[in-house]
Amino acid sequence: MYLKKRSRTTRSREKTKAVNEVSAGAVVFYVEKQEIMVLALVQNNETGEEWFDMPKGHVEKGETLMQAAHREIREEIGLPLHLDTGFREENQYVYTEKPSRTDRNTLIHKRVVFFLAFMHTNEKKQITLSQEHKRYYFLPVDKAIERARFENQQQLLKDAKAYIIEKYLV
């Protein structure tokens, strides 16, 4: 009996692997008439449910976090925006990626470092979306906080708002 349990445990561990990933991105914003507007990129999950996200992606070999954030912004919205490195916030979370080509689930330990990316109001019409997003829109930062799907995303936006008010609006 003990051996059976042990072998089941071993087999289930063999079917799950763990991976550490590091990504970088930015909260993209502009200020218009003293209102902070945040870029929301719309994505779908496997069930077709929509949610918004911010430009971010994997840090490639040899890249710094800032270089990766710049590249991801260019790839996802087509603009080379200035990063405000005075703001830097790190989110960590864990999720399970379902198997695609193998029979193994992958446990992803994700670390994402966010900066701020300032956009001029005239640049918002120059956005060219990547294929991974359905559409984009801008919304007031408080609405973005309300619509954020995860608590750490809400906190990121609250912290970004406080920083922007202190640095750009005072």
Model pLDDT for residues 29-72, shown as the tens digit of each residue: 999 999 999 999 998 666 777 788 999 999 999 999 999 999 99
| pTM as predicted | 0.84
Per-residue pLDDT at 153 exceeds 80: yes
Cα–Cα distance measured from residue 82 to residue 74, given in angstroms and rounded to the nearest whole number? 11
- Tell me the domains of the chain and their CATH numbers: 16-169 (3.90.79.10)
Cα–Cα distance measured from residue 87 to residue 66, given in angstroms and rounded to the nearest whole number? 12
Cα–Cα distance measured from residue 119 to residue 50, given in angstroms and rounded to the nearest whole number? 25
